[in-house]
Structure 1
């Protein structure tokens, strides 16, 4: 990837994740990155295209991290434990590749775009579908109900960790999983 394009993306992702997509203008990205407007528009003809590229970059990083958590799970219970232990690490800023926890970039960005048919909203939905597929792939015993249960608890834990500043949300979600398994 072109070095200037990469720098623009890194800068945009950091600013968007920290402040929100709508709150960050092109001029702030240019000032922070030190890159000329002409160069930015050469790589990204519109802000929306820059946002989609930032979402794609975050998707790759997040999915690589998340997939790494799940590799080698010996049971569905161990898979759940790995998911929620990983989330706890993320919520507590122990995952350097994901930056300081500011909630889910895809949930946050989706909330800023109310039109579900716009490319940015679609990209956010695709990320959630990709995460669900990763979990499904690592289920030792495939179970659609359990998959939905894990995905719903995972998303809820992320929201609670950010909105309510509940750094124990992942542990609480995993306790719920344990109750579900014991029935």
Structure 2
């Protein structure tokens, strides 16, 4: 009988698996990546991978959940550096511009996954919608602090900038969206 795997090894293997799957799924697309590629990239045997996640869909949902926490956490940390409520809202677009300029930027992971699987996977669709609701809630909170009621238009500017940058490859769209948000907030 094999020796039990220590908890720390279990945690590290799971993180390596999620890292590998996220890089592959985001970089190449979910349907283009087979589990053999995930196995090779993670360095874990398929049997171990399937002990963590029974299906590729389960692995994808875990990747999206973890990415959501990191993505929204990084955004909040950046926005929290601004003291003025209006500057906090505009900082969203500054952060987006930095993200758009990163090597390997391929647009919104949730929009990309929704395009591939949203109509065929209830679990993926639920995860995509959860992320978008949480992002909308963040934007709404920051906009409300300005005393204005333009949260939905600001959210749409952010979402539109993400999709446009993903398609065009041009990080400058974040600046255009920032200028439009400033106008909405009355700070232009």
Q: TM-score, normalised by structure 2?
A: 0.86
Moved more, 72-81 or 100-109: 72-81
Matched, 1:62 2:66: no
Q: CA deviation at 1:137?
A: 2.5
Provide the aligned C-alpha RMSD in A.
1.9
Q: CA deviation at 1:87?
A: 0.6
Q: CA deviation at 1:55?
A: 0.4
Q: TM-score, normalised by structure 1?
A: 0.89
Q: Alpha-carbon deviations, 1:102-132, whole Å to 9, x = none?
A: 1111111111124276110110110111111
Moved more, 66-75 or 105-114: 66-75
Matched, 1:28 2:32: no
Matched, 1:181 2:185: yes
Matched, 1:141 2:150: no
Unaligned 5+ residue runs, structure 2? 1-9
User: Closer, same or farther in 2 for the Cα pair 1:49/1:83, shift >3 Å?
Assistant: same
Counterpart CA distance in 1 for 2:18 and 2:157 is: 31
Q: Alpha-carbon deviations, 1:123-156, whole Å to 9, x = none?
A: 011011111112222331354x411011100011
Larger Rg: 2
